[in-house]
Amino acid sequence: MNAPRALTRLSALMITLAFCLGLAAPASAQSAFSPAVFVGEKVVTYFEIEQRTLLLALMNFPGDPRKEARKQLVDERLQLIAAERIGILPSEEGMDNAILDFSKRFNLEPAELIKALEGEGVAEETLRAFLYARIAWQGVIQARFGSSVQVTDQEVNRAIASNTGAGGVSVLLSEIVIPVTPQTKEQVRSLSLQLSQITRQSDFEEAAKTYSQAATRDNGGRLNWLSITKLPAQLRPVLMALGPGEVSDPIPLPNATAIFMMRGKRETNVPSPQYSAIEYAAYMIPGGYSEDALSQAAAMKARVDTCDDLYGEAFGKPETVLTREAVAPGKLPRDYALELAKLDEGEVSTTLTRATSDGGQALVFLMLCGRTAELADEISREDVAASLRNQRLLSFADGYLEQLRAETTIVEK
């Protein structure tokens, strides 16, 4: 990067932020490079807060990006203090890999991402600082707690039982399901990343009412208690790893993206059955989410009670209108599996759509015909152990950060 030109651009950025974003210090204060927060012997400058605010805004980070920027930078100073104490120093290779992984979240190459950020006024050094602290902190947690985090065979057995039905585990989830079309793919990706950062149930419920297409949108996305064995097997470790109040990463589905918040878990001594086959019927109503299609679906819902009734609805229509089959849970499309998990026999979902051969959309009238209970395949013990270990490390990390905060003098300017 050409140094004089970079300095000129960054100076212009400071002036713009000071007058347009209201982030600069009062007129009587010193320059934007003056300390805004002292964290022990380290400082956070006004300029760093301005830059991080811009970065978080571009990432569509929820909440007030200015407040979050200050909080993140203070936390990172504490994390770097801990890293320096034990000699943790992220390598250039590690930084390059981190930038590559971060770029993939936006479907960009690293150089494209850096250029795009600089075009919005965010210096490359700001992105590097953002990632550097995270790599250093991961090293600290592994060095400090990695060897002490042991997962026993009994704990793995219990977790496997929770996932296979050998033990009775139910989860209380809230959901946001956002339809995706080729035209809205990028907007939905950006929105779903933002929603996955939500930390309060009230915010999640408001987002569900605003963005979700699922039938649960009117009650804030709240689902009733579900046996973990009803959910798709590939999603169980993801959801079981969530603690109360935590939100999943965006989960891609055919024609949609889903995000879940864990509201609660409970365990009983009554085993939950595993299922070898799920029988369902899917009736395609032309028009997608149009008022006419939804009206037809509502009328059909009032007429039919069982999957057999759908044959009468499909009489005289093309064979492609109705599909009925019994398949292994792992063979179901993921969006079908998630909707069917919420249903009892004879119940219906009208949340999903499918593309039609003429380029249009069809509303899926999805009915659960029945489930066949049977013991399922063994879940990978290695995956379960890794998930339990990561959960424990995250808990240690949160506790250690609070300890560092209590031990360090932090002075806000």
- Residue 200 and residue 212 in one domain: yes
Q: Is residue 206 situated within a structural domain?
A: yes
Q: Of 70-79, 122-131, 205-214, 324-333, which range is least confident?
A: 324-333
Distance (Å, rounded) from C-alpha 33 to C-alpha 50?
Answer: 10
Q: What is the pTM of this model?
A: 0.47
- Residue 171 and residue 296 in one domain: no
In our burial notation (b when 16+ CB lie closer than 10 A, e otherwise), range 28-45 reads eeeebeeebbbbeebbbb
- Residue 186 and residue 261 in one domain: yes
What is the percent of the chain with per-residue pLDDT over 90, rounded to a whole number? 49
In our burial notation (b when 16+ CB lie closer than 10 A, e otherwise), range 326-348 reads eeebeebbbbbbbbbbbbeeeeb
- Residue 215 and residue 328 in one domain: no
- State the CATH number of the domain containing residue 315: 3.10.50.40
Instruction: Encode pLDDT of 107-139 as tens digits.
Output: 789 999 999 999 999 999 999 999 999 999 999
- State the CATH number of the domain containing residue 26: 1.10.4030.10
Instruction: Encode pLDDT of 149-158 as tens digits.
Output: 888 877 776 6
- Residue 264 and residue 280 in one domain: no
Under DSSP, the state recorded for 253 is E
Instruction: Encode pLDDT of 250-270 as tens digits.
Output: 888 878 899 999 999 887 655
Q: Of 215-219, 228-232, 277-281, which range is least confident?
A: 228-232
- Residue 11 and residue 87 in one domain: yes
- Residue 191 and residue 83 in one domain: no
Q: Is residue 261 situated within a structural domain?
A: yes
Distance (Å, rounded) from C-alpha 40 to C-alpha 133?
Answer: 16
Q: What confidence category does residue 32 fall into, taking pLDDT thresholds of 50, 70 and 90?
A: confident
Under DSSP, the state recorded for 269 is S
Contacts for 85 with CB less than 8 Å, ≥ 6 apart: none
Give, rounded to a whole angstrom, the gap between the first and last alpha carbons of the chain.
Answer: 33
Last residue of a domain, which of 272, 290, 312? Answer: 272
Q: Is the pLDDT of residue 23 over 90?
A: no
Q: What confidence category does residue 35 fall into, taking pLDDT thresholds of 50, 70 and 90?
A: very high
- What's residue 20's pLDDT? 36
Distance (Å, rounded) from C-alpha 324 to C-alpha 338?
Answer: 17
Q: Is residue 129 situated within a structural domain?
A: yes
- Residue 61 and residue 114 in one domain: yes
- Residue 246 and residue 173 in one domain: yes
- Residue 139 and residue 189 in one domain: no
Q: Of 30-39, 118-127, 190-199, 234-243, which range is least confident?
A: 234-243
Last residue of a domain, which of 257, 272, 287? Answer: 272
- Residue 264 and residue 286 in one domain: no
The DSSP secondary structure of 281-331, one letter per residue, reads EEEEEETTT-HHHHHHHHHHHHH-SSTTHHHHHHTTS-GGGEEEEEE-GGG
Q: Is residue 407 situated within a structural domain?
A: no
Q: Is the pLDDT of residue 321 over 60?
A: yes
Instruction: Encode pLDDT of 359-396 as tens digits.
Output: 889 999 999 998 876 544 445 677 777 777 887 888 78
Q: Is the pLDDT of residue 15 over 60?
A: no
Q: Is residue 380 situated within a structural domain?
A: no
Q: Is residue 29 situated within a structural domain?
A: yes
Q: Is residue 390 situated within a structural domain?
A: no
Q: What confidence category does residue 147 fall into, taking pLDDT thresholds of 50, 70 and 90?
A: confident
Distance (Å, rounded) from C-alpha 263 to C-alpha 202?
Answer: 12
Domain count, the chain: 3
Distance (Å, rounded) from C-alpha 72 to C-alpha 134?
Answer: 11
Last residue of a domain, which of 272, 307, 342? Answer: 272
* Under 8 Å between Cβ of 146 and 390: no
- What's residue 210's pLDDT? 94
Distance (Å, rounded) from C-alpha 162 to C-alpha 74?
Answer: 39
- What's residue 45's pLDDT? 95
What is the overall mean pLDDT for the chain? 83
- Residue 361 and residue 261 in one domain: no
What is the percent of the chain with per-residue pLDDT over 70, rounded to a whole number? 85
Q: Is residue 347 situated within a structural domain?
A: yes
Q: Which domain holds residue 261?
A: 166-272
In our burial notation (b when 16+ CB lie closer than 10 A, e otherwise), range 364-378 reads bbbbbbebeeeebee
- What's residue 375's pLDDT? 41
Neighbours of 91 (CB within 10 A): 9
Token pair, residue 78, equals 């504490």
Instruction: Encode pLDDT of 95-109 as tens digits.
Output: 999 999 888 877 789
The DSSP secondary structure of 21-64, one letter per residue, reads I--SPPTTS--TTSEEEEETTEEEEHHHHHHHHHHHHHTT-SS-
In terms of DSSP bridges, do strands 348-349 and 361-373 run parallel, antiparallel, or are they unpaired?
A: antiparallel
Q: What confidence category does residue 4 fall into, taking pLDDT thresholds of 50, 70 and 90?
A: very low
Q: Of 43-47, 84-88, 325-329, which range is least confident?
A: 325-329
Q: Is the pLDDT of residue 279 over 90?
A: yes
- What's residue 379's pLDDT? 55
